[in-house]
Amino acid sequence: MIANVIAKLTGRTYAIDAGDIGYLVAKGGIPFLRGLLWSLVRLRRPSGLLLGPGIQFVQPGRLRLGRGVAIGGYGYVDCAAKDGLSLGDRVTLRERVWIQSRSGLNRRAASLTIGKRSYIGPNAVIGLGGPVVIGEDVQIGAGLTITAESHEAGPDGSFVSGAVSRRGVTIGRRCWLGNNVSILDGVTIGEGAVIGAGSVVTRSIPAFSVALGAPARVTRSIGPADQLGR
């Protein structure tokens, strides 16, 4: 019965037994009530939003939410990007996520779009500039860093002038990224790619490839059937 209620409210399905009730209240019930209050205060239709404590939102009116989105506690979510932030159904952003769309009154970033059912682990840092697109069903471990702009040298050769280029970052659907992966501006990671823990991705990675290292290099290819676990 409880599982059915959760599915109706958030679109998330779980197998629950009696020993899970206490955990469920702490990890689900309280965040659900916090998300419900957040939605009602902002005159939004409740969508099963789960919110942890201590989250700071900047311009939350520019945040578009699907059903059953979960955002862990103590995060910073700056929604001031030109085209806002869009989180699809059942997207999970774990604790201490940090998303920046603007630094002071400088130029707004483009946008952030995260597809349905994608998961980003704790302590993620997403610095927007150009558009950042993360596809559906992407799984990302703890400590992700995305930098969607790159500083350029000024006339004197210094990089502290504030001049930047903004090409953006794209992660294709059904990608898997290990812990502490860093992705630099201009990178596209193709569908179904696997990026090893601790990798620094400085150039685009083809679909259905395994890439490791700093900088990340493709070590082998995997067929779609292998990547999908079929």
Q: Do 168 and 133 contact (CB within 8 A), yes or no? A: yes
- Please, is 82 exposed, middle or buried when counting C-beta atoms within 10 Å of its C-beta (0-12, 13-18, 19+)? middle
The number of beta carbons lying within 10 Å of the beta carbon of residue 159 is 12
**63 carries an active-site annotation:** no
CA-to-CA distance for 5 and 181, rounded, in angstroms?
36
Under 8 Å CB-to-CB from 60, ≥6 apart: which residues?
42, 77, 79
Say which of 44, 82, 151, 173 is annotated catalytic: 151
Under 8 Å CB-to-CB from 223, ≥6 apart: which residues?
208
CA-to-CA distance for 178 and 120, rounded, in angstroms?
10
Q: What residues are labeled active site?
A: 151
